[in-house]
Amino acid sequence: MYLRLQQHRGDHSQQKEYLVSGVPELTDDERHLASLGYKQELNRSWSGFSNFAISFSIISILAGCFTSFGLGWNNGGPAAIAWGWPIVSAFILIIGFCMSELVSAYPTSGGIYWWASKLGGPKAGYYTGWLNLIGLIAIVASVAYGCATFLDLTLSTFSDSWAQGYSLTRVFIIFLMVLILAAAINIFSSHLLAIINNISVWWHVAGAAVVVLILIFVPDHHASFSDVFARTINNTGLFGGETSGAGFLFYVLPMAAILTQYTITGYDASAHLSEETKSAAGAAAKGIWRSIFYSAIGGWILLLSFLFAVQDADGVSAGGGAVAVIFSQALTSQVAGIVLLISAAGQLFCTMACLTSASRMLFAFSRDGAVPAAKVWATLSKNKVPANGVMLSAVVAAIITLPALVAVDINGAPVPVAFFAVVSIGVVGLYICFAIPIYLRWRMGSKFKVGAWNLGNKYKWMAPVALVEIAVTCVVALFPTSAGGMPWDPSFEWKYVNYTPLLVGGALLVLWISWHLSVKNWFTGPKITLAAPVATSPGEKVL
């Protein structure tokens, strides 16, 4: 409960608002948060730029464009990448606009989970929260493993002895070290993280520019426009390797879209950090769509520079579609090492940001009692950081990446099937949970109370477009990525399996069982931490 009092100082009167307990007037951000039922617990020290920076860092074109390049190359080739990236990016931007409107209305750390609970009730919130958490932790795992891979590649370009000692075990150890470092920095200080994310933005911008310039001016030869925009490839072993026909068009080619969908994801971080952001109703909304927009442009330029630098397409295919093969063809080992180092550093920044986002989601979900041992994960350290949640997120990320220790060759080339599976888990988990509140907001129509940043009537067509795009993406992400991953194929082995359907399907089954057996009897959705919410009337800005 709040009181409005008059203070008299000489001839001037000053009106202030106080908590009954005597705490001074709330800021606009604290008032908005209080109107949603929460008191300010996290340290609100992030600027609007820092909020944008964490989503931009998690999207990380220096991570996704490098580590998942093989998904595009092997499932369609240069043409699939050159045309697919801008097309899919446009649809992702529409998803981002829909989410920006939601975060402006509900700027809480729970983000997507909170929105779903508010608009659809406890059941919708429960499923959304767990899918969000699974997706975020899978993204942490995939980015950290990609970072470890590129650190190993970087060292290999500068040391022949290191290159000769390559093993999956060594990469996995580096992966664990990356997770430990990211966790330590996350635990140390929220303010330090904001500074690191600000640095990360400029590293991604300058680093990507340097890589593009190197690939333009250093190689002696560049691929032709037809090689880049018209050449198709099918390295999956499916449909006889054909690059035409229904099988290629409707099964192989769509899998190339996962390159874009995986790279441009994790932008919900702007929502999860909204309780730590100043002027969150506007800043977090802008953080989401701007991070998508600028990443889409920068990522396309970067990918085109890769494709034009290809010297021998067959050689790239023989190397599993790895972008490092392109660098080794077009550049000297020293220059290639610089490119790989720029990417590896960007991926390290990305890992830190991903872990921040996952831990904040875990904190918010635990704050509402939805996670076993909730009090442990909802506890804040003296630095006002959910340290226990950071550690748990890192440990689970390590566990789900254990299959990466198994060596896999497809068509004679080393292909990180387990890595691509973790990528798909992240994509499916996150995009399904994005779809739930977008649908609920669309269903609510004009009854939805918009925030300071909103779509106006544009939500009427943007929301259904976003939902269709998400549905198609999630189906594609469940596809086996090679013939050996299909149970009915003679070459079937478990090491080739895309285990996304097993993990996501198993998680949904567990959630369904737990909901009906127990959770529905006690889970009521977000728990308020204030005795009485505060009314707020944010200004409106229509897109």
- What is the per-residue DSSP string for 187-234? HH-HHHHHHHHHHHHHHHHHHHHHHHHHHHHS-S----HHHHHT--EE
| pLDDT tens sequence across 186-239 | 988 667 777 887 888 899 999 999 999 999 999 999 999 999 999 999 988 888
From the CB of residue 493, how many other CB atoms can be counted at a distance below 10 Å? 11
Q: What is the 3-state secondary structure (H, E, C) of 377-432?
A: HCCCCCCCCCHHHHHHHHHHHHHHCHHHHCCCEECCEECCHHHHHHHHHHHHHHHH
pLDDT of 277-292, one tens digit each? Answer: 888 888 999 999 999 9
Query: Where is pLDDT greater, at 324 or 542?
Result: 324
Going by pLDDT thresholds of 50, 70 and 90, the confidence category of residue 272 is confident
User: What span, in angstroms and rounded, lies between the C-alpha atoms of 234 and 244?
Assistant: 9
216, 259, 266, 230: which is closest to 53 by C-alpha?
Answer: 266
Q: 46-481+490-542: what CATH class?
A: mainly alpha
pLDDT score, position 13: 38
pTM: 0.84
Q: How confident is the model at residue 303 (pLDDT cuts 50, 70, 90)?
A: very high
- 311 vs 278 pLDDT, higher one: 311
Could you tell me the two tokens for 471? 């549905």
Closest CA to 321 of 333, 313, 309, 329: 313
Question: Taking 60 as the threshold, does the pLDDT of residue 542 lie above it?
Answer: no
- The predicted model gives 260-288 an average pLDDT of 87
* CB contact at 8 A, 347 and 146: yes
Q: Is 5 helix (H, G, I), strand (E, B) or coil?
A: strand
Is residue 2 scored above 50 in pLDDT? no
